[in-house]
């Protein structure tokens, strides 16, 4: 159980303090942690960016961010006043490294006030090209400390391919120790994602079934209704494979595929995840042709409004070859999963926003019920709904009440809404608290990031080198390109979705 009692005094330095991530996620998360009593008794938040602001202006800016984006709504005046008293601003510009000297003075001042056990967290919420420059400036100004006193949080994307990820790892590990580096993947902080481990490893009935003997395939589907919005400039150099599959979706796959850890130690858990990545079947050029599908959205209508095609979004090359949809069939070549396909898909401007993991079990070995009573026969499925619905469903066959024997599928549902009254924290709240307590379990280790890139590099290279002649190949508000249906239909399955629940 985490409580503020054990937290050391903390100085939280946010690079990119005036940016979108701080406004939407970090500041609301820190404020909510504070409001719920999870911030250290002594803390300082120092925003940094190139803009010249004073503390008051910065406080006003993040207040606006919190009021617009916090899960708990607008700030409460008294809470805000005591929180804001710990919020400062310090202009920093990597092209003027001496500004780090000013930052150092400010950090030293807080340290002197807080005491010798003060820890410093640097959060790099900036464009990836600034990661190395900031890390180097921190080193030059002797701000890197040691494992006990300093941590650095790196946002994604961590590299844009294997080579750049390796370079960044080499640079960071040359300045910090691995224990100081927190590579964030916000999916791992989601409540429902964390529950996958609890569900798998705290319940005895699942383990005997969790293998190739009883499971016939697995689907991981993260679909988004939104387009790229104002992130076209970033996204066009990235695409669905880099933006979602290399990190979020492969992490989900690891949680489903991993062996049982010996204990809850961060490295033990990460070792087990790395084992899954190591066992994943490398892609041959035939596999790329047969087991991967890419897509790009065309214009269409979403909730009565016409939306532009990807190539007409701001910041996007009008002839772009970037995929906004990707579907891939993976295999994990080990004893547990040999021969069992893991179908993964993600995309923007799709029909529904939903993140679902579906585990489909094999059929019963022999049907004793006549086909007339089993019209809607369906193999058992376990559906982990990460968002927006937060639930775990087990789909089973049951007898419909009545004088006749008629079977139909029914859902046994564990729904967060109906089960718990407390609101789930945002992923960033969980992860920022983990950083402050020094828990690396939900963060990516250097080898994890590299091996995920290594696995995907043949697909990245093939898609980059061969321009898709069919783009755009799906309409906004659809389920993506037809080839993605064919990818899974060839094996006798179809993509699973939950009925739309608009409440």
Name the site residues for ligand BG6 (rule: CB under 6 A).
156, 224, 243
Q: Which residue is nearest to ligand BG6 (CB)?
A: 243
Which run of H or of E encompasses 381? Answer: strand 381-387
Nearer to ligand BG6, 243 or 323 (CB): 243
Q: What's the min distance (Å) between Cβ of 358 and ligand BG6?
A: 17
Q: What's the min distance (Å) between Cβ of 64 and ligand BG6?
A: 21
Please give the span between the terminal C-alpha atoms of the chain, in angstroms, as a whole number.
Answer: 33
Q: Contact at 8 Å (CB) between 90 and 100?
A: no
CA 501 to the chain's CA centroid: 23
Give the whole-angstrom CA distance, residue 354 versus residue 421. 22
Q: What's the min distance (Å) between Cβ of 427 and ligand BG6?
A: 7
Q: What's the min distance (Å) between Cβ of 18 and ligand BG6?
A: 20
248 is catalytic: yes
Q: What's the min distance (Å) between Cβ of 391 and ligand BG6?
A: 16
- Of 316, 313, 168, the C-alpha closest to 237 is 316
Give the whole-angstrom CA distance, residue 456 versus residue 160. 11
Nearer to ligand BG6, 144 or 346 (CB): 346
Task: Indicate the DSSP class of residue 259.
Answer: P
Give the whole-angstrom CA distance, residue 500 versus residue 496. 12
Nearer to ligand BG6, 110 or 156 (CB): 156
Instruction: Determine which one of 110, 186, 248, 494 is catalytic.
Output: 248
Contacts for 480 with CB less than 8 Å, ≥ 6 apart? 223, 293, 295, 325, 327, 345, 347, 350, 474
Nearer to ligand BG6, 8 or 348 (CB): 348
Give the whole-angstrom CA distance, residue 440 versus residue 177. 13
Give the whole-angstrom CA distance, residue 270 versus residue 79. 37
Nearer to ligand BG6, 224 or 434 (CB): 224
Give the whole-angstrom CA distance, residue 344 versus residue 293. 10
Q: What's the min distance (Å) between Cβ of 190 and ligand BG6?
A: 7
Q: Contact at 8 Å (CB) between 465 and 473?
A: no
Nearer to ligand BG6, 156 or 349 (CB): 156
- Of 140, 136, 133, 264, the C-alpha closest to 194 is 264
Nearer to ligand BG6, 118 or 448 (CB): 448
CA 63 to the chain's CA centroid: 25
With H, G, I as helix, E, B as strand and everything else as coil, classify residue 275. helix
Q: What's the min distance (Å) between Cβ of 244 and ligand BG6?
A: 6
Annotated catalytic sites, by residue? 248
């Amino acid at each position: 159980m985490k409580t503020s009692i054990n937290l050391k005094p903390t100085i939280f330095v946010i690079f990119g303090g005036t940016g979108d991530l701080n406004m939407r996620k970090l500041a609301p998360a820190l404020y909510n942690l504070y409001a719920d009593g999870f911030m250290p008794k002594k803390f300082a938040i120092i925003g940094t960016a190139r803009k010249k602001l004073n503390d008051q202006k910065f406080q006003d800016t993040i207040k606006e961010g919190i009021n617009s984006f916090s899960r708990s709504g607008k700030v409460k005046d008294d809470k805000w006043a005591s929180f804001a008293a710990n919020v400062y601003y310090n202009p920093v510009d990597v092209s003027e490294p001496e500004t780090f000297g000013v930052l150092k003075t400010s950090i030293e001042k807080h340290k002197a006030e807080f005491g010798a056990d003060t820890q410093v967290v640097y959060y790099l919420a900036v464009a990836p090209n600034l990661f190395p420059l900031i890390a180097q400036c921190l080193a030059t100004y002797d701000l890197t400390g040691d494992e006990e006193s300093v941590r650095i949080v790196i946002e994604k994307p961590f590299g844009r391919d294997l080579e750049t990820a390796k370079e960044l790892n080499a640079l960071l590990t040359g300045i910090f120790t691995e224990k100081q580096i927190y590579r964030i993947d916000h999916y791992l902080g989601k409540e429902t994602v964390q529950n996958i481990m609890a569900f798998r490893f705290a319940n005895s009935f699942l383990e005997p079934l969790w293998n190739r003997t009883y499971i016939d395939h697995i689907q991981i589907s993260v679909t988004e209704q939104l387009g790229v919005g104002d992130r076209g400039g970033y996204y066009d150099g990235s695409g669905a494979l880099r933006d979602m599959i290399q990190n979020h979706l492969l992490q989900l796959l690891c949680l489903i595929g991993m062996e049982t850890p010996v204990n809850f130690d961060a490295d033990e858990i990460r070792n087990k995840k790395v084992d899954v990545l190591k066992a994943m079947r490398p892609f041959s050029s035939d596999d790329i042709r047969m087991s991967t599908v890419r897509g790009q959205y065309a214009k269409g209508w979403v909730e009565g409004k016409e939306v532009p095609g990807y190539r007409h979004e701001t910041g996007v090359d009008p002839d772009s070859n970037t995929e906004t949809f990707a579907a891939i069939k993976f295999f994990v070549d080990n004893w547990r999963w040999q021969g069992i396909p893991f179908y993964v898909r993600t995309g923007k401007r799709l029909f529904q926003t939903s993140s679902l993991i579906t585990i489909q079990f094999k059929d019963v070995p022999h049907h004793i019920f006549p086909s007339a009573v089993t019209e809607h026969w369906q193999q058992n499925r376990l559906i982990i709904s990460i968002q927006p619905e937060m639930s775990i469903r087990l789909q089973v066959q049951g007898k419909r009440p009545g004088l006749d024997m008629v079977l139909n599928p029914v859902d046994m549902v564990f729904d967060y809404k109906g089960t718990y009254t407390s609101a789930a924290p945002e992923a960033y709240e969980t992860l920022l608290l983990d950083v402050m307590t020094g828990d690396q379990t939900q963060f990516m280790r250097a080898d994890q990031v590299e091996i995920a890139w290594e696995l995907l590099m043949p697909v990245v290279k093939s898609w980059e080198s061969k321009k898709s002649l069919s783009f755009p190949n799906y309409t906004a508000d659809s389920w993506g390109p037809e080839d993605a249906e064919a990818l899974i239909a060839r094996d006798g399955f179809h993509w699973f979705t939950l009925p739309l629940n608009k409440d």
